């Protein structure tokens, strides 16, 4: 028997306020799949601090025309409260099924509210949306994407006037306005079409020119223009800009993975369109092997995450994780700027609380400030805004395969990351070396840091409650030691408290509240627990370290660190 509250929502969606196709789909669920009907209506799809993300379909708990329209009406109301009647927004979308429809729906609602809309003519990378907001002087923006989620999902990311996703107080304020929209009848669906302007090639050109300015060694690229690059857009938006950017940088030997080159929301060659997954990068890896390439790169559907494949110290192709990619990128930009004489005395870099601690060593070794913020590039962007005029931002990055190079955009950008990673490979090749050899050298210099990540998914209506119970268990009964090493710091970012369980010493954490727990052990290991904000998933991050005396010891120490992470996971019964 379906709950009465759910039934009331179902009946509302059978009214004339909803189109005939939607009503028919609801009726079909009623007659054929009561469990799916309940899941589609048991709650409202939450407009969180980053916007919407969910499975597509009918219902209050799904991504569809009506949930997108109500979210946009609430966001439009808030923008007008803040900026009056002279509001401009930019809108982009990725290659997912319904992304264009959602983007046009969003544009129509904004326009009907008297807001001037700049809508990309076709799919574009998320970072270009961030750039366009700043370039066009917009007060806000939206990109319709579910990033690297499976094909059933779509999403809606909201941006502010600096080109970054919403942070306090605007995130919570927008949520309040969205929650005030109680009915689809309150949405202005049409009537302002004259307020919509299509954009495309002009913004593309401005964006590509901006990325080209990030190049530090164009002379080395000229010598290594034949660097053999394999690139896969994984059926996403990267195909629109990455090949053009690589050409503008001067690379002439770029091989596109044809099987994954056409934008397709069904992602036919992969299960998860995520460059973090070895299976997703499998076709590209094979092509790189067959061509004996120098570097493999892949971008996710909205081209904000980048995956990188290189040959290891045994000549075998491996995928680097996000921490390794960040280490190479941070080091390259800091070293190259210093060597070129363009480093500033107030240079800074920014990373997150779950990203490798090796970044701090790199920053210290190059005499620049390193700031740690909560997970998510909106917090990196907020720190840039806070330090603007006082410190010079160079690069930011986090473990989840994201980099943000330069301050002309305010979200992670795989397009510029691909170009700079290729430049880094060219720089090392010019010296007769590989990126992997450079990474080992950095381990020798700064210590061998190794990280791993496991995700535990709890699906269904009670999934979030199970995850909440796991976090509450860690808070109520935190471990005193893990894998034989005492916990010397327990950091609770939700309660803004730090505590040493061994001594009882307590202190305050000054970062904004976030549901993250970190256990720092006496041996330097760090374990972080963080529920996802967009999926019924909890992530556990592991970081261990050891001295690496020489490159010859790499394999042995690498194995020791792998075993240490496995032992921690076993001890925590994960």
Mean of the pLDDT values across residues 67-91? 97
What's residue 462's pLDDT?
78
User: Domains in the chain and their CATH numbers?
Assistant: 63-199 (3.40.120.10), 207-446 (3.40.120.10), 448-571 (3.30.310)
Mean of the pLDDT values across residues 429-457? 96
Model confidence at 521: pLDDT above 90: yes
Count the neighbouring beta carbons within 10 Å of the beta carbon of residue 33. Answer: 12
Can 496 be counted among the known catalytic residues?
Answer: no
Q: Under a CB-based contact definition with an 8 Å cutoff, are residues 417 and 345 in contact?
A: no
Q: Give all strands (DSSP E) within 387-442, no chain letters.
A: 392-398, 402-405
What's residue 458's pLDDT?
83
Mean of the pLDDT values across residues 355-383? 96
Confidence of residue 347 (pLDDT cuts 50, 70, 90): very high
How far is it, in rounded angstroms, from Cα 405 to Cα 222? 22
Lowest mean per-residue pLDDT among 13-17, 47-51, 78-82, 427-431 = 47-51
Model confidence at 1: pLDDT above 90: no
How far is it, in rounded angstroms, from Cα 37 to Cα 58? 9
How far is it, in rounded angstroms, from Cα 78 to Cα 501? 44
Mean of the pLDDT values across residues 159-185? 95
Confidence of residue 49 (pLDDT cuts 50, 70, 90): confident
Mean of the pLDDT values across residues 24-46? 93
Model confidence at 461: pLDDT above 70: no
What's residue 48's pLDDT?
83
What's residue 533's pLDDT?
66
Tens-place pLDDT, residues 187-223: 999 999 999 999 999 999 999 999 999 999 999 999 9
- What pTM was estimated for this model as a whole? 0.94
Count the neighbouring beta carbons within 10 Å of the beta carbon of residue 365. Answer: 14
Tens-place pLDDT, residues 226-271: 999 999 999 999 999 999 999 999 999 999 999 999 999 999 999 9
Residue 525, preceding peptide bond in cis (omega within 30° of 0): no
Name the catalytic one among 95, 130, 147, 543. 147
Cross-sheet strand order for the sheet of 51-55: 51-55, 153-160, 140-144, 88-93, 116-120, 196-199
Q: Single out the residue of 423, 392, 419 nearest to residue 211, CA to CA.
A: 419
């Amino acid at each position: 028997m379906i709950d009465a509250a759910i039934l009331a929502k179902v009946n509302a969606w059978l009214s004339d306020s909803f189109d005939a196709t939607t009503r028919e789909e609801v009726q079909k669920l009623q007659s054929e799949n009561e469990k799916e009907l309940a899941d589609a209506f048991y709650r409202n799809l939450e407009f969180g601090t980053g916007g919407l993300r969910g499975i597509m379909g009918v219902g209050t708990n799904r991504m569809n025309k009506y949930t997108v329209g109500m979210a946009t009406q609430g966001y439009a109301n808030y923008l007008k409260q803040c900026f009056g009647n002279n509001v401009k927004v930019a809108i982009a979308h990725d290659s997912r099924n319904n992304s264009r429809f959602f983007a046009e729906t969003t544009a129509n609602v904004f326009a009907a509210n008297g807001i001037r809309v700049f809508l990309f003519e076709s799919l574009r990378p998320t970072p270009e949306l961030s750039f366009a907001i700043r370039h066009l002087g917009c007060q806000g923006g939206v990109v319709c994407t579910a990033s690297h989620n499976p094909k059933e999902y779509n999403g809606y990311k909201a941006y502010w006037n600096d080109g970054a996703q919403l942070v306090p107080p605007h995130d919570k304020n927008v949520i309040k306005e969205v929650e005030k929209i109680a009915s689809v009848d309150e949405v202005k669906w049409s009537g302002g079409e004259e307020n919509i302007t299509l954009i495309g090639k002009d913004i593309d050109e401005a964006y590509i020119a901006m990325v080209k300015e990030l190049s530090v060694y164009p002379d080395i690229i000229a010598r290594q223009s034949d660097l053999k690059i394999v690139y896969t857009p994984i059926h996403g938006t990267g195909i629109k800009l990455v090949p053009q950017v690589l050409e503008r940088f001067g690379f002439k030997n770029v091989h596109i993975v044809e099987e994954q080159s056409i934008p397709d929301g069904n992602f036919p060659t992969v299960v998860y369109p995520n460059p973090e997954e070895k299976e997703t990068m499998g076709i590209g890896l094979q092509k790189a092997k067959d061509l004996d390439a120098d570097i493999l790169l892949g971008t996710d559907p909205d081209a904000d995450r980048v995956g990188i494949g290189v040959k290891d110290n045994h000549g075998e192709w491996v995928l680097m994780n996000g921490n390794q990619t960040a280490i190479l990128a941070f080091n390259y930009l800091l070293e190259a700027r210093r060597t070129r004489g363009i480093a500033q005395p107030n240079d800074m870099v920014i990373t997150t609380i779950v990203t490798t601690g090796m970044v701090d060593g790199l920053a210290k070794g190059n005499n620049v400030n390193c700031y740690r913020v909560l997970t998510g590039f909106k917090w990196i962007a907020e720190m840039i805004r806070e330090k603007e005029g006082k410190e010079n931002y160079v690069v930011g990055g986090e473990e989840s395969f994201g980099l943000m190079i330069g301050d002309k955009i305010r979200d992670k950008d795989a397009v510029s990351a691909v170009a700079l990673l290729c430049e880094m490979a060219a720089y090392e090749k010019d010296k007769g070396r590989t990126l992997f050899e450079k990474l080992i050298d950095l381990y020798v210099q700064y210590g061998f840091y190794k990280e791993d990540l496991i995700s535990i998914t709890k699906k269904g209506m009670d999934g979030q409650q199970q995850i909440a119970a796991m976090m509450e268990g860690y808070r109520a009964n935190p471990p005193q030691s893990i894998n034989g090493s005492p916990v010397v710091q327990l950091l609770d970012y939700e309660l803004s408290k730090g505590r040493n369980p061994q001594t009882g010493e307590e202190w305050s954490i000054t970062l904004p509240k976030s549901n993250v727990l970190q256990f720092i052990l006496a041996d330097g290991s760090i374990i972080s627990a963080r529920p996802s904000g967009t999926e019924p998933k909890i992530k556990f991050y592991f970081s261990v370290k050891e001295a690496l005396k020489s490159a010859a010891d790499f394999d042995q120490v690498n194995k020791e660190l792998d075993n240490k992470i496995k032992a921690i996971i076993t001890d925590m019964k994960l």
